[in-house]
Structure 1
Amino acid sequence: MADLLVSDKSVFGELTGEQIDIVEPATGAVLGSTRLASPDDVAEAVTRSVVAQPKWADTAPAERAEVLLRAAQLIHDHEDEFVRWGIRECGGIAGKTTHEVHSSRGELLAAAGLATEPYGQLLPAAGRMSYGRRIPFGAVGVITPWNFPLVLAMRAVAPALALGNSVLLKPDHQTSVYGGALIARLFEEAGLPPGLLEVLPGKADAGQALVADPRVPMISFTGSTRAGKIVAATAAGHVKKVSLELGGNNATIVLADADPDQASSVGAWGSFLHQGQICLTTGRHLVHRRIADAYLDRLTARAAALRVGDPAEADTQIGPIINATQLATVDRIVRASADAGASIRTGGTYQDLFYAPTVLAGVTPSMPAFTDEIFGPVAPVTIFDTEEEAIALANSTSYGLTASVITADPFRGWKLAERLRAGMVHVNDSTINDDPAVPFGGVGASGNGGRYGGQANWEEFTQWQWVTVRDTPPAYPF
């Protein structure tokens, strides 16, 4: 079976922006090159998208669903190609990337079901028919990051298309193939008509042009809180809807009755999967004093045993940080916290872009390892004495994406979880959890309350329209 990208034409069309190399973070090898989208390219793509969308919205829902189902089959048939690019371009280990590809297929299957669901309701009225219906926005802009570029694109692209929108996808320039070119080819092969998915790999100028274009009434943005604030301000200036899924500084609370070995497994997975480069990563381990020593010992042993190296090798568990700038940020936070009194139990070192899994003990709320989103393989551990203290520590952040509680008493964990300020909470599981059918999103600095997944997609990618119909016009007083 030929790869999807084997073709004599560019999936991006004739882009006119900067030419860049596609670099493998694990080895520094140049995998290829691509042109980026310029603001002029974005404007031209919006024109095509706006022209194509009305016919797509009028297409029979079952036909829209069939395109998504064909795409789901194609991603299954070409799984090896997607995984290969995810490993090499993102630096993700095989297990992470395979899971991402499977989740992306799940997003396509779930979105296909949306297309044929009821989309409105009859409303009470006298002397006329009155109903509300959900209608597509039109052209939807989708801006995605580099860490999970395939699934974070698909969770917006798939439902937006299913519900009758056209989509302009701007993937991060560092993952323009895995998060862009492969998606473009996938939908082309699935039979999506031209103009309905414009893929525009680019930097901030392309994203700014997309958000500022008045013909794009809705923006879906996933990325840092800093960048999200800029997107929100620009969108507000054009009075358009924006859905923000931003950063996190997520806490796992380990209660005194938890099994330290089980809890440390949950904690290690939460902090070290994909080198901690996930918005859902466990950024703070809040552990009851009674079991803190045992938890730290086991977490440290797990971290020290992880194999760091090229993610293309099957037994690698920790791959590279995405770039040198991010690695420097991770190391700065670790060093500053150690200087402030935290103890480095293991790790705290790096070679090239590979940062050793790091466990910090004695972390206090004033240290950067507690206050900042690290986005690296670092597990900061903070001790508490009471549940009230644990709740206060967990909620002492502007972020509110996800949290978890580990306990031998699930009901106790559930009651505690209800007091946590987070968009998602998991009892006896990791902070890292996702599913195509759930309302995914955060609050506070983690997002503006928008949600992806399941029925929440109707709220994100369509808008209400109220319609009334009378037999004849009424006679008004004037």
Structure 2
Amino acid sequence: MASSERNSQTSTARVDPTRGVEPALALRNEQQPFLASLLIGGEACPAEKDAVFERRSPVSGELATIAAAASADDVQRAARAAAAAFPGWSRTSPSERRRLLEAAARRLMERKADFTAAMLRETGATEAWCSFNVELGSEIFIDAAGMTTMVAGSMVPSNRPGVQSFAMRQPAGVCLAIAPWNAPIILGVRSIAMALACGNTVIFKASELCPATHRLIGEVLTEAGFPAGVVNVISNAPADASLVVEALIAHPVVRRVNFTGSTRVGRIVAQVAARHLKRCLLELGGKAAFLVLDDADIGEAVKAAAFGAYFNQGQICMSTERIIVMDEVAEEFVGRLAEKVATLKSGDPARGIFPIGAMITAESARRVRSLVEDAIGKGATLLAGGEAHDAFMDATLIDNVTRSMRIYREESFGPVSAIIRVSSVEEAITVANDCEYGLSGAVFGRDIGRALEVASRIESGICHINSATVADEPQVPFGGVKASGYGRFGGAAALDEFTELRWVTLSTMPGSYPL
């Protein structure tokens, strides 16, 4: 059976999921799968009726992980555990929360080999991407630790004599965090770190495509000393995703929802959250525009475009998908980029010699290939790559892309980028904004004033001048506009997402009332 047909399935096999994730097992014998339990109330435990599902390697098709398949009853258990832990955790001092988050950052780095082993087998990523995930994940914990003393209020002037008026931030309650597979450590840690820093408890729903990697995050937090029930980890079989997610969002104790993933699923999450009047933070799809102006440093633009388009096989929400280049520099830029892209071959990441690893499934590679075929059939020129074999696809570059082609507007989430040639700056801006997405973008030009003006007109939550579309730092306000979602992760902007802002008054004089 092909690997794409064997990615995951529900099973009633009698394993011992209470053993948790055991990366050391894989290091001793790579043929043994990881075992991923649930984490509820500080305890590693099986799902109801010991239900499990399988995750298979996108590279080999071999069994990578046997994970607990949570039911609606397991959701209830996790919610009760998180709610029970909230009163105590919300009153924990900022210094104690900071200490534990810093301990989590250290422990994450100490278990870098374990995370890499799990992530390599579950996602087919390169070792460089795994290493980057661990390091940035640790930085996110450190940044959140520094924010524990920033959950502050303010004095608000009052019109009433003898009244002191305050705007006060308090923990929101139980937060539901849903993270994807493509940057599992970065996005998993980001989904919970600031929530914990603000004094909330968390239910973390692991991705069905990397349950062991996500379960390891829960294990790290347990090892760091977080109290029982503060962090709970739920995994579910793919067929049960809708049931589990709706049960989690609908539960009365859940007060905040954050979701990182596709726009298609994000719309569903938003609809369910709206029905239950739950506030949610959504970081969704993207189709980043990379503008090369007529005065751009071509060498720098080529380096940044190649990195932004093909790092992690293009499976990053900020990936460079549309390269909009002005006619004056198009020939030089496209020629040099095509030479670079032709060297970016995909292969088994375990061999350590390929700059591009596997896509998450063979079906994903076939879908990207169909976008390429559609473009070529409508007049585009294939400059490099284009072929897919199983879950592998070499870096692919297409020139002369037009609006009639699917790849002009559909998010590929794969190792392909489209060249769109334009005759003016105004046309470049128009093309950049001719897209439903608005997450990241980039503008290359030596005239900084003009580049800044162009960047200000790009409809995206993030825009970089003279650097790649793919960039992330823990302290920045990270998020998009339009179909790329709403709300912001990171730094001070995230405080509003994970706290309740309350108005509190203190009267020191007798009141005067009309009745």
Query: Does residue 168 in structure 1 map to residue 203 in structure 2?
Result: yes
Q: Which residue of 2 aligns with 1:128?
A: 163
Q: Which residue of 2 aligns with 1:107?
A: 140
Q: Deviations over 1:416-448 (max 9, x none)?
A: 111111101100011101100100000000012
Q: Which residue of 2 aligns with 1:77?
A: 110
Alpha carbons 1:357, 1:378 under 8 Å: kept = yes
Alpha carbons 1:83, 1:98 under 8 Å: kept = yes
What is the CA-CA distance between 1:233 and the residue it aligns to?
0.7
Q: Which residue of 1 aligns with 2:149?
A: 116
Rounded to whole Å, the distance in 2 between the matches of 1:93 and 1:278 is: 14
Query: Does residue 97 in structure 1 map to residue 130 in structure 2?
Result: yes
Q: Structure 2: which 5+ residue stretches go unaligned? A: 1-20, 26-34, 40-44
Rounded to whole Å, the distance in 1 between the matches of 2:298 and 2:65 is: 46
Rounded to whole Å, the distance in 1 between the matches of 2:207 and 2:283 is: 15
Q: Which residue of 1 aligns with 2:188?
A: 153
1:163 partner letter: C
Q: Which residue of 2 aligns with 1:139?
A: 174
Alpha carbons 1:307, 1:315 under 8 Å: kept = no
Q: Deviations over 1:173-221 (max 9, x none)?
A: 110111x211111011011111111101123322222122232111001
What is the CA-CA distance between 1:410 and the residue it aligns to?
2.2
Q: Deviations over 1:387-426 (max 9, x none)?
A: 0000000000111101101112222211111111110110
Rounded to whole Å, the distance in 2 between the matches of 1:40 and 1:359 is: 48
Task: Specify which of 432, 446, 451 is matched with residue 413 of structure 1.
Answer: 451
2:46 partner letter: E
Rounded to whole Å, the distance in 1 between the matches of 2:391 and 2:424 is: 39
Query: Does residue 183 in structure 1 map to residue 217 in structure 2?
Result: yes
What is the CA-CA distance between 1:118 and the residue it aligns to?
5.0
Q: Which residue of 2 aligns with 1:457?
A: 494
What is the SS of the residue equivalent to 1:421?
coil
What is the SS of the residue equivalent to 2:352?
coil
Rounded to whole Å, the distance in 2 between the matches of 1:112 and 1:427 is: 30
Alpha carbons 2:120, 2:350 under 8 Å: kept = yes
Rounded to whole Å, the distance in 2 between the matches of 1:279 and 1:208 is: 24
Alpha carbons 1:11, 1:185 under 8 Å: kept = no
Query: Does residue 306 in structure 1 map to residue 344 in structure 2?
Result: yes
Please, what is the CA RMSD of the aligned residues?
1.7
What is the CA-CA distance between 1:282 and the residue it aligns to?
0.5
Alpha carbons 1:4, 1:78 under 8 Å: kept = no
Alpha carbons 1:405, 1:426 under 8 Å: kept = yes
Q: Which residue of 2 aligns with 1:293?
A: 331
Deviates more, 1:307-316 or 1:376-385: 307-316
What is the CA-CA distance between 1:298 and the residue it aligns to?
1.5
Alpha carbons 2:70, 2:234 under 8 Å: kept = yes
Q: Which residue of 1 aligns with 2:408?
A: 370
Change (3 A) 1:215 1:11: closer
1:319 partner letter: G
What is the SS of the residue equivalent to 1:359?
strand
Alpha carbons 2:345, 2:394 under 8 Å: kept = no
Rounded to whole Å, the distance in 1 between the matches of 2:452 and 2:513 is: 58
Q: Structure 1: which 5+ residue stretches go unaligned? A: none
Change (3 A) 1:476 1:259: closer
What is the CA-CA distance between 1:87 and the residue it aligns to?
2.1
1:141-290 superposed matches below 5 A: 141-178=176-213, 180-202=214-236, 203-290=241-328
Rounded to whole Å, the distance in 2 between the matches of 1:300 and 1:204 is: 42
Rounded to whole Å, the distance in 1 between the matches of 2:357 and 2:23 is: 25
What is the SS of the residue equivalent to 1:242?
strand
Rounded to whole Å, the distance in 1 between the matches of 2:510 and 2:461 is: 48
Q: Which residue of 1 aligns with 2:359?
A: 321
Query: Does residue 51 in structure 1 map to residue 84 in structure 2?
Result: yes
What is the SS of the residue equivalent to 2:485?
coil
Q: Deviations over 1:17-56 (max 9, x none)?
A: 7522232212222123112222221122111111111110
2:63 partner letter: V
Change (3 A) 1:412 1:118: same
Runs of 4+ in structure 1 over 3 Å off: 3-12
Give the paired residue count: 474
Rounded to whole Å, the distance in 1 between the matches of 2:121 and 2:256 is: 32
What is the CA-CA distance between 1:4 and the residue it aligns to?
7.0
Q: Deviations over 1:141-188 (max 9, x none)?
A: 00111101111121121110111100011121110111x211111011
Rounded to whole Å, the distance in 1 between the matches of 2:23 and 2:339 is: 42
Rounded to whole Å, the distance in 1 between the matches of 2:287 and 2:275 is: 29
What is the CA-CA distance between 1:119 and the residue it aligns to?
0.9
Q: Deviations over 1:319-375 (max 9, x none)?
A: 111013322221111111111111111111011110121110110122111111000
Q: Which residue of 2 aligns with 1:15?
A: 47
Q: Which residue of 2 aligns with 1:467?
A: 504
Change (3 A) 1:472 1:249: same
Deviates more, 1:351-360 or 1:436-445: 351-360
Q: Which residue of 1 aligns with 2:13?
A: none
What is the SS of the residue equivalent to 1:115?
helix
Alpha carbons 1:252, 1:405 under 8 Å: kept = yes
What is the SS of the residue equivalent to 2:349?
coil
What is the SS of the residue equivalent to 2:386?
coil
Deviates more, 1:293-302 or 1:464-473: 464-473
1:352-363 superposed matches below 5 A: 352-363=390-401
Rounded to whole Å, the distance in 1 between the matches of 2:436 and 2:253 is: 33
TM-score by length of 1: 0.96
TM-score by length of 2: 0.89
1:80 partner letter: A
What is the SS of the residue equivalent to 1:423?
coil
Change (3 A) 1:6 1:67: farther
Alpha carbons 1:319, 1:354 under 8 Å: kept = yes
- Sequence identity percentage: 36
What is the SS of the residue equivalent to 2:170?
strand
Deviates more, 1:11-20 or 1:192-201: 11-20
What is the SS of the residue equivalent to 2:491?
coil
Alpha carbons 1:250, 1:283 under 8 Å: kept = yes
Rounded to whole Å, the distance in 2 between the matches of 1:115 and 1:239 is: 27
What is the CA-CA distance between 1:115 and the residue it aligns to?
1.0
